Amino acid sequence: MTYRWIRELKATAVLTLPLMIGHLSHMGMGFTDTLMAGRLSALDLAAVALANSIWLPLWLFVLGLMLGISPTVAQWFGAKQWCEIGVFFRQALWLAIFLGVILHVTLQEAHVFLVWFGVDSSLWEITADYLYALSWGAPFTALWLVGRLTSEGMGHTRVIMYVQLAALCINALADYVFMFGAWGMPAYGAVGAGWSTTVVMLFSALVYFLYLCRSQRYQRYGLFEKFDWPDWRVLFSQLRLNIPIGVAVVMEASLFGGVALLMGGLGTVPLAAHQIAVNYVSMMFMIPMSLGSALTARIGQAVGAGQFNKARYIGMLGMFSGALLMTFSGLIMVFFPEVIVSVYTRDAIVTELAVSLLFFAALFQIWDGVQVCAAGALRGLKDTAIPGLITVVAYWGVGFPCAWFLGLQHGMGPEGLWMGLLAGLFLASILLSLRFYRVTRYNAAVVDKRLEVSRG
């Protein structure tokens, strides 16, 4: 028994570590954009921040609408249905094209949102140009996601890490060239960060698809062996699976965004402290997020092979591992909050409040780890509708109202807002983990009964 859990942990860790490095590299691109924009002017920095507040929710929703690719490929992979992977991959490319075009058009017309929200004209122009530049990379990032999630479903995650690390380096170089002007290029300022991101999206898609075409590892699947027209039955079926995932992703991201808006009403210092705490928590979140993606692949493969008991074991062990890892993260926040905050600011007032918020962040670390691992495990089962509903109830039915009531109506301020976050994440973790336990117990029992009948 002991050997089994060590073996399963090792197999999951092999997939998780490259994904974690890849996710951190992706975050590093946003950090690089912000850092270089800060060296230009306060206006450029504000434009980058505003543009990202529009771009990130849109990108997350597109990501959510495509996350179902990974468990679908994983289940075909586990069932050893190689040809089905190739057929599905080509249909997923059509899904990416449709979503990429929609994202492109939305970003092109993003200036409408800026006018609606009454953004200052000086900031409006830079932000709109930034989003215009990003729009040309949108179709490529959607195509890149198809390749990445296909490999992820097969358990091939190292290539994802390599491409993301290369993309981080190219992004830093392109930021310098486009933002400051170099090698004969004009200086585009903050807008240059948008063009550099587009270059990175194009690079990632081209390199990854070249790898899929040339690598012997993928030849058996016939990914590019022929041209297929869109199969609307397959696409609509995939959207039914994916839409609840997209809703779940946006619900969690928008909860933090909504709390940030409430925090802004309390003043500059609370908002600054909130941003520090959220930035650090977001980096720590990459650990369970990567683990959740690995669980999706491993559980999907086990389900495809008809091994529901193994899928259940992997999921329960993964959720426990996520909780344990985030407990260590929480302990760091409890014992060394001043050290963490000192990296971001020297302001004594902001530091005091940020340290207080990190205490609440430490409390919800374990629940954040459980909920994202449980969500990843449920994706591996292709169970998305009920989990999507759970996130709506937990985050916006409980989390945000609690934050509003405790923080603003009950007068608890920033700490009350973060208690609302804690409530939402706690409820999501409990309900999602119970959902996984219930679904896998039923499926495992059905398989065991069939085996008994066949043996009898």
What is the tens place of the pLDDT at every residue in 258-314? 777 777 677 767 777 777 787 788 888 888 989 999 999 999 999 988 888 889 999
Across 3-18, average pLDDT:
81
Closest CA to 274 of 403, 160, 414, 411: 414
Q: What is the pLDDT of residue 453?
A: 37
Q: What is the DSSP string of 212-242?
A: HHH-GGGGGGTTTSS-----HHHHHHHHHHH
Residue among 221, 216, 172, 219 nearest 197 (CA): 172
* Res. 118 pLDDT band, cuts 50 70 90: low
Contacts of 408 (CB under 8 A, 6+ apart): 262, 265, 416, 417
Residues for the chain: how many in total? 456
Please provide the distance, in angstroms rounded to a whole number, between the alpha carbons at the two ends of the chain: 28
Interatomic CA distance for residues 425 and 394, integer angstroms: 7
pLDDT at residue number 119:
58
Q: Residue 123 — very low, low, confident or very high, per pLDDT cuts 50/70/90?
A: low
H or E segment and range at residue 440:
helix 413-455
What single DSSP character describes residue 195? H
Higher-scoring residue by pLDDT: 274, 360: 360
- The closest alpha carbon to 432, from 381, 372, 380, belongs to 372
**What pLDDT was estimated at residue 117?**
58
Mean pLDDT of 61-66: 86
Q: Evaluate whether 338 touches 311 at the Cβ level (below 8 Å).
A: no
- Report residue 227: phi and psi, to 5°: -100, 135
* Percent of the chain residues past pLDDT 90, beyond the cut: 23
Q: Which residues contact 3 (CB under 8 A, 6 or more apart)?
A: none
Q: Which of 112-126, 274-288, 367-381 is predicted most confidently?
A: 367-381
3-class DSSP state of 41? coil
pTM score of the predicted model: 0.86
pLDDT tens-place string over residues 15-45: 888 888 888 888 778 777 777 776 777 677 6
Contact 31, 52 (CB under 8 A): no
